[in-house]
Copies of this chain bind each other. A is one copy, B any other.
Amino acid sequence: MKYCSVCGNEVHVTIPQGDNRPRHVCVHCGTIHYHNPKVVAGCIAYWQDKVLMCRRAIEPRLGLWTVPAGFMENGETTYEGAMRETLEEANARVAVDNLYVTVNLPHINQVYMLFRGRLLDLEFSPGEESLDVALMTQEQIPWDSMAFPTVTEALQLYFADRERGSFPVRMLDIVREGGVPGRYVVRHIA
């Protein structure tokens, strides 16, 4: 951020009075511009022992596999965001069961909120951002071609919990180890 979105003048980085961390503040109109983490809402959409996987048609991670998920939009709830992403990326309709995994990604200022959702029918197909969409058992999932560690970890928890027969609401931290891209530490918080 270089310019004030309210008046168009320059911003500088300073700690405002009564605050305790640096913010972008307009030199002209004084507006303080806050930057906060974003919620990524998504869905583990299941049918019997299978989950709905999408192969990404866009960067980042083009060609790799994920579950339907994306940035939550203004004006919607978390589970509405999860349903919308499932519809957009896989043309699939789900009945959302419950929140299942929250993943904190503090190094990229994101919070994933993944819901379990029962597929209402099998009329799914690739949306604009997907090359391919498929229902897969645990064994069929291409674990070596996954787009994001968040999704890998969430699906591993899902299949283990399914085996156990209950789905407690879980929370993970995934942080970049030593700031090195591609190397992560996973902490199981709950």
A184: CB under 8 A from chain B?
no
**Interface size range of chain A in the complex:** 35 or more
- Number of chain copies forming the complex: 2
**CB-contact partner of A74 in B4, B20, B37, under 8 A:** B37
A171: CB under 8 A from chain B?
yes
A8: CB under 8 A from chain B?
yes
Which residues does chain B contribute within 8 Å of A99, judged by CB atoms?
A: 102, 169, 171, 190
The binding surface of chain A is classed by DSSP as loop
Q: Which of A64-98 contact B (CB under 8 A)?
A: 71-80, 88, 98
Sample of 17 more A-B contacts, CB < 8 Å, known A21-B73, A36-B72: A2-B6, A2-B8, A3-B3, A3-B5, A3-B6, A4-B5, A5-B33, A35-B74, A37-B39, A37-B72, A37-B76, A75-B109, A76-B106, A79-B104, A80-B106, A98-B190, A169-B169
